[in-house]
Chains A and B, each alone.
Chain A
């Protein structure tokens, strides 16, 4: 069974530029999550989708971050404009349903200069 796929793996941009990340969850998984992991900390949830609907985006900085999961499969996370403090690893995870085991992708390392 294929795992969670993410791209790109690395991205370097300058502040005020925009960037987008892509996630393909495990086939059949209804719930998809985007987490942000700052160096030295545990991951923090940005947004959670159930199929193509948003369940929780309470910690998403909505003035600059947006995410969508059209058709309830793949998802994209966008940052526009980026700030220095957005430098982090962005992790995508999926699970069969909300209370089931979450499986994580390899992450996208973002560096904002």
Chain B
């Protein structure tokens, strides 16, 4: 079946450090989203990025659709960035998102 793989599974950073999270997907996507799940379980939209590059403050994302991967960059990390980051892809114009297993980020003060 269609697979979404994220790496690394866990990441511990010191406040102020930068990081890169990776998402590989096994088939072409028509929707690719990055989410941050906070400690209360809320899934917060970060980017809708089936291709190209977007930036929002300290966060940016790049999807290279032809090579089937997406990257999420977090710069100058803060303790509030802690939580689990998910990427999810949808295929065949269907809408159903297939989620990766997530990257658990912990930012220490």
Contacts and interface: CB of A to CB of B under 8 A. Distances in A.
Tell me whether A and B are bound partners: yes
A109 B95 contact: no
Contacts of A33: 95-97
Interface residues of A, number: 25
Contact of B93 (A43, A45, A89, A98): A98
Looking at chain A's contact residues, is the secondary structure mostly helix, strand, loop, or mixed? strand
A21 interface: no
B41 A42 contact: no
B100 interface: yes
A102 B97 contact: yes
Interface string B84-109: 00101010011111011110000000
Interface string A72-113: 000000000000000001010001011111111011010000
Interface residues of B, number: 23
B43 interface: yes
Interface string B21-62: 000000000110101000011110100100000000000000
Which among B40, B41, B90 has the highest number of chain A CB atoms within 10 Å?
A: B41
Interface of B: 4, 30-31, 33, 35, 40-43, 45, 48, 86, 88, 90, 93-97, 99-102
16 contacts: A35-B97, A41-B101, A42-B88, A42-B100, A44-B99, A48-B96, A56-B94, A56-B95, A56-B96, A95-B95, A97-B95, A100-B48, A102-B33, A106-B40, A106-B42, A107-B41
